[in-house]
């Protein structure tokens, strides 16, 4: 594959000024220059993007992802280094970028298409498809300053993907649209991938990066840390986050919810041998351990456990009563409770544990602690969703092993 984007030793420096107005800047021009602080948003970035590749840029807020995307798109000029680019480019970098609020949606379609290099005749040919894709037919002749943020994104994305780009730059703006529109956008991105177009994708959705991209670059404080597979980059990013996660767990107020008839403390996750763990392979066993203190005798209590992904979605949740377990009476002394999962077949990601102790039927919640323990699951499998499964494949009566070479037919084996 040939390279369509080359980023040569690019650095970008910004001046941080404390002047509150243009008047202050003019009056204190000399002093302002002397006291201005410099900030390096990017440092010595050297990357190439092959034709037909999909690359994800990941990192914390302020790591330089959007700055790099704007430099690739020609919106910002690097302080040093340079970018080479070949092919028609479409960019979705900021909400409503390139739109004029006083123009209607129709007029902005033609304006944006012209900026992206289309003639009026070409735009005429695409116009109906653009409006249909955006789903805002009833508002196309309304000034865009009256549009919602979702309508902005719909129209901007519809224009960008219909100008026949060879390179598509996409920032976090897709997260603004509603769920059906996000699916439509992702379907179009996958279609672009099949057509061999080059995509550079910025997202905080790490699972989305793993699913969409064939390569990922991790940036941290303007520095390029990892350039490799999405799995490698995402794991490295989560390693950076681990210290912050541990500090956050230490500072959580565990007495936030419930009557506190019973209190929960010392929440941890461990392997099946009871050793504390932070990372485990998919399919391994897991123990969730915590201490309950009833303060006095209690015979009516149940335990609920929920596992949530990094987006806060519950991937599993149940309580002891729902699953048919009758817990023994508490005498009043603190007791350690262990909830054991013989296997955890989750896909790669970060998961958090929430725990509750309540009366039967959840009529009274004694204590609930949310996302107090965190663990990571790793796997080499390429898959979507939250569950890690190991399916087999059969064509006719032939079982297909990994590697794609059919085994002897099942009938022959019998």
96 φψ region: left (φ > 0), alpha (ψ -120 to 50), beta (else): left
**Contact (CB, 8 A) for 262 and 357:** yes
Pairing of strands 279-281, 263-270: unpaired
Q: What are phi and psi of 74, to 5 degrees?
A: 85, 10
At residue 65, the pLDDT reads 92
Domain ranges in the chain?
Answer: 3-242, 253-378
pTM of the complete model beyond 0.75: no
**Contact (CB, 8 A) for 305 and 354:** yes
At residue 209, the pLDDT reads 86
* Cα(301)–Cα(205) distance, integer angstroms: 38
Helix axes 120-134, 105-115, angle to 10 degrees: 130
Q: Architecture of 3-242 per CATH?
A: 3-Layer(aba) Sandwich (3.40)
**Contact (CB, 8 A) for 222 and 41:** yes
**Contact (CB, 8 A) for 215 and 208:** no
In our burial notation (b when 16+ CB lie closer than 10 A, e otherwise), range 67-101 reads: bbbbbbbeebebeebebebeeebbbbbeebebbee
Top CATH class, 253-378:
mainly beta
At residue 135, the pLDDT reads 87
At residue 15, the pLDDT reads 78
Retrieve residue 111's tokens. Answer: 């304006």
Q: Which residues of the chain have pLDDT under 70?
A: 1, 17-36, 94-98, 173-178, 243-256, 403-414
Residues forming a β-bridge with 351: 309, 375
pLDDT tens per residue, range 30-42:
665 555 678 899 9
């Amino acid at each position: 594959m040939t390279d369509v984007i080359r980023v040569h030793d690019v650095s970008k420096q910004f001046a941080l000024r404390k002047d509150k107005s243009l008047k202050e800047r003019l009056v204190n021009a000399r002093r302002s220059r002397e006291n201005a602080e410099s900030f390096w948003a990017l440092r010595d970035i050297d990357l190439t993007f092959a034709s037909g590749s999909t690359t994800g840029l990941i990192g914390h807020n302020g790591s330089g992802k959007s700055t790099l995307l704007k430099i690739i798109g020609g919106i910002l000029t690097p302080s040093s280094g340079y970018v080479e680019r070949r092919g028609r480019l479409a960019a979705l970098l900021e909400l409503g970028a390139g739109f004029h609020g006083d123009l209607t949606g129709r007029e902005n379609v033609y304006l944006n298409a012209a900026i992206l290099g289309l003639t009026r005749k070409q735009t005429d040919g695409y116009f109906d498809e653009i409006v249909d894709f955006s789903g805002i037919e009833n508002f196309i002749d309304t000034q865009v300053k009256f549009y919602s943020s979702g309508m902005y994104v719909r129209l901007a994305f519809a224009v960008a993907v219909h100008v026949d780009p060879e390179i598509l730059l996409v920032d976090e703006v897709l997260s603004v649209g509603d769920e059906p529109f996000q699916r439509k956008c992702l379907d179009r991105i996958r279609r672009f991938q099949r057509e061999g177009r080059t995509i550079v994708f910025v997202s905080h959705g790490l699972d989305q990066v793993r699913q969409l991209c064939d390569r990922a670059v991790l940036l941290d404080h303007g520095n390029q840390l990892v350039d490799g597979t999405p799995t490698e980059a995402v794991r490295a990013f989560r390693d950076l986050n681990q210290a912050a996660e541990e500090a956050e767990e230490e500072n959580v107020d565990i007495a936030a919810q419930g009557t506190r008839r019973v209190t929960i403390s010392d929440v941890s996750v461990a392997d099946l041998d009871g050793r504390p763990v932070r990372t485990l392979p998919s399919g391994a066993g897991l123990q969730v351990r915590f201490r309950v203190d009833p303060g006095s005798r209690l015979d009516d209590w149940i335990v609920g456990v929920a596992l949530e992904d990094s987006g806060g979605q519950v991937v599993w949740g149940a309580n002891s009563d729902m699953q048919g377990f009758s817990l023994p009476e508490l005498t009043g002394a603190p007791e350690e409770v262990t909830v054991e999962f013989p296997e955890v077949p989750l896909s790669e990601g970060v998961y958090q544990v929430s725990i509750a102790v309540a009366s039967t039927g959840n009529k009274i919640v004694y204590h609930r602690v949310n996302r107090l323990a965190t663990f990571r699951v790793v796997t080499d499998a390429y898959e979507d969703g939250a569950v890690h499964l190991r399916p087999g494949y059969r064509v006719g009566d032939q079982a297909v092993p990994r590697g794609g070479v059919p085994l002897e037919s099942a009938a022959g084996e019998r």
